[in-house]
Amino acid sequence: MTGADFLVLGGGIAGLSAAARLARYGKVVVLEAEEALGYHSSGRSVSFSHFGIGNGAVRGMTAWSRPFFEHPPEGFGDSPIARPMATIYMAGEAQLAALDALAADMATYTDAVERIGVERLLALCPVVRTGGDHAVAGLYDPTGLKLEAAALLQGFARLVRAAGSQVLNGRRAASITRRGDAWEVTTEGGEMFSAPILVNAAGAWADRVAAMAGVAPIGLQPKRRTIIVVDPPAGMEIASWPFVHSVGGDFYMLPEAGQILVSPVDEVDDEPSDAAPEEYDTALTAYQLEQYTTLTVTRIAHRWAGLRSFVADRTPTAGFDADAPGFFWLAGQGGYGLQTAPAMAAIVEALATGGGWPDGLEALGVRPEQITPERLRSGSSQAAAT
Ligand SMILES: Cc1cc2nc3c(=O)[nH]c(=O)nc-3n(C[C@H](O)[C@H](O)[C@H](O)COP(=O)(O)OP(=O)(O)OC[C@H]3O[C@@H](n4cnc5c(N)ncnc54)[C@H](O)[C@@H]3O)c2cc1C
C-alpha cells in the first residue's frame, strides 16, 4: 500500500495542474489509467485561450489564468506554452445582434475587441466567404493565445515530480473504498494507494469514478466534438490567419503547423470512451468549411474526436462532496479546461487545503458558490436557479 496526502485520479490537464499546486503541501500521487498523459480530452483539444466562450465564471477564470500562460513558473520547462493568435467571429446579416451581444460579453474582460467590416475580414483571412448570405461583419480580438497542450501537461507533471510527488501512468483505478480516515484505491493491476483526500479529476469518467466510491453523481454529460485537418491549397500562406469562428457557433478553423484544423463545433451526447469521429460529423465538418470559406476539400489529412464534459449549468465544478468526507470533485471543464486550468488549480489548492479564495478571482466574477458540487444536487436552491 502506497500512502500519500492526496491521491489524484486522472492525468489530464485538470488532475496535473491541481497536483502541481497540492504537491506544495504534501505527497501527491497522480494515477492515470492510460499509458500516456493527456490521452483523452486534454490531448485532443485545439488548445486555445480566448474570451469568446463560456459563461461569466468561465471568462473570469480564463482572465485569471492568462498571466500563468504568459509567464509560466520556474521549473515548468523550456518549451513555449503559448503564443499570440487573434480570433475573429464572422456574422451574416441575420446574426448582427448576436455579434453585438458577444462583443458586450467579451468587453468585460478585454477592451481590445473591435467590430470589423468585410474588407478587414478578408485582409485577415482571404478565404472567408463574404457578402450576400455570407459574412457581412465580424469581431476581431487580438488577445487570443494558442496554447501547447503537450508542453502544459509535461510542465505540470515536471512540477509535481520536482516536489517529490509522483505521476504514475497505466494505473486505472478499479475500486475505491473509504476505510477509516482514508480513501483506498486499488488499480486494475492490483496496486493499492491510500490518502485522506481523493481528487476526482477523471474527465468524462468523473461520475463513474464517484459511483465506484459510492458517491452520488453530479450529472456530467460528455459531448463529442469532431476535428478534421486539411491541407491548404499549394502556395497559400496561412500561418498568419487568426482563429476564425462563425458567431452562430457552427464552424471554426485555425492554422496549425501548416495545415488547417476545422470543426463544426458539434456537441453530440456520448458515453465516456475513446471517442472517434463519426462519418456524418466528418462530412458535416468538410461541408461547413466549404460553406464558410472558398476552400474545397479534396482530401482529409487527419481527423479525430474528443469529449467535452459538462454539468447542467456548464460551469466547471471543484470542491469536497458534502456527503463523502475527503472526496474532492474536479470535473465538468467542458470546452475550456485548458484555458481555465491555472485558475481551477488555484481553487483546488484553496478548497482542499483550507486556504483563502485565490486573490483576484472574485473581482473577475468567480465565486465559490458558482463551482461547488452542492449547487448540482437535486433540491439545492442553486440547482433550481440555474
Ligand atoms: C475537440 C476539442 C477542442 C477543445 N478545445 C479547447 C480549447 O481550445 N481550449 C480549452 O481550454 N479547452 C478545449 N477543450 C476542452 C479541454 O480539452 C477539456 O476541458 C480538458 O481537456 C478536460 O481536462 P480533464 O483533465 O478534465 O480531462 P481528460 O484530459 O480527459 O483527463 C481525464 C483523465 O482521467 C483518466 N481516468 C479516467 N478514469 C480513470 C480511472 N478509473 N483511473 C485513473 N484514471 C482515469 C483518463 O484516462 C483521462 O486521461 C477541447 C476539447 C475538445 C474535445
- What are the pLDDT digits (tens) for 196-229? 999 999 999 999 999 999 999 999 999 999 999 9
Does the pTM surpass 0.95? The reply is yes
pLDDT reported for residue 1: 96
Q: How many CB atoms lie within 10 A of CB 248?
A: 16
What residue type is 347 in one-letter code? I
**Span from the CA of 283 to the centroid of ligand 1 (angstroms):** 25
**Which ligand 1 atom sits closest to the C-alpha of 15?**
25
Same fold, 2-69+148-220+313-385 and 86-143+221-310: no
pLDDT 10s digits, 271-295: 999 999 999 999 999 999 999 999 9
Q: Is 140 in the pocket of ligand 1 (CB under 6 A)?
A: no
Q: Is 41 in the pocket of ligand 1 (CB under 6 A)?
A: yes
Confidence of residue 386 (pLDDT cuts 50, 70, 90): very low
User: Which class does domain 2-69+148-220+313-385 fall in?
Assistant: alpha beta
Q: Is 47 in the pocket of ligand 1 (CB under 6 A)?
A: yes
Q: Is 143 in the pocket of ligand 1 (CB under 6 A)?
A: no
Q: Is 53 in the pocket of ligand 1 (CB under 6 A)?
A: no
pLDDT reported for residue 384: 42
Query: What rounded mean pLDDT belongs to the chain?
Result: 96
- Average pLDDT on 365-369 reads 97
- Average pLDDT on 75-98 reads 96
Q: In testing the pocket of ligand 1, which one of 42, 51, 65 has its CB within 8 Å of the most ligand atoms?
A: 42
Helix axes 149-162 and 13-22, enclosed angle (nearest 10): 30
pLDDT 10s digits, 304-361: 999 999 999 999 999 999 999 999 999 999 999 999 999 999 999 999 999 999 999 9
Q: Which three cell numbers stand for residue 108?
A: 468585460
Asked if residue 109 lies in contact with residue 146, where contact means CB atoms within 8 angstroms, the answer is no
Q: Is 201 in the pocket of ligand 1 (CB under 6 A)?
A: yes
pLDDT reported for residue 377: 85
**Span from the CA of 195 to the centroid of ligand 1 (angstroms):** 24
Confidence of residue 382 (pLDDT cuts 50, 70, 90): low
The percent of residues in the chain predicted with pLDDT above 90, rounded, is 97
Question: Whose alpha carbon is nearest atom 27 of ligand 1?
Answer: 203
Task: Say if residue 238's pLDDT is above 80.
Answer: yes
Question: Whose alpha carbon is nearest atom 37 of ligand 1?
Answer: 202
**Span from the CA of 272 to the centroid of ligand 1 (angstroms):** 11
Q: Is 33 in the pocket of ligand 1 (CB under 6 A)?
A: yes
Q: In testing the pocket of ligand 1, which one of 40, 198, 209 has its CB within 8 Å of the most ligand atoms?
A: 40
**Beta-strand pair 252-256/259-263:** antiparallel
Q: Is 339 in the pocket of ligand 1 (CB under 6 A)?
A: yes
Question: Whose alpha carbon is nearest atom 33 of ligand 1?
Answer: 10
Q: Is 44 in the pocket of ligand 1 (CB under 6 A)?
A: yes
| Ranges of each domain in the chain | 2-69+148-220+313-385, 86-143+221-310
**Span from the CA of 334 to the centroid of ligand 1 (angstroms):** 8
CATH architecture of the domain covering 86-143+221-310: 2-Layer Sandwich (3.30)
Q: Which of 350, 335, 344, 17 has its CA nearest to residue 154? A: 17
**Span from the CA of 93 to the centroid of ligand 1 (angstroms):** 36
What CA–CA distance (Å, rounded) separates 355 from 32?
Answer: 27
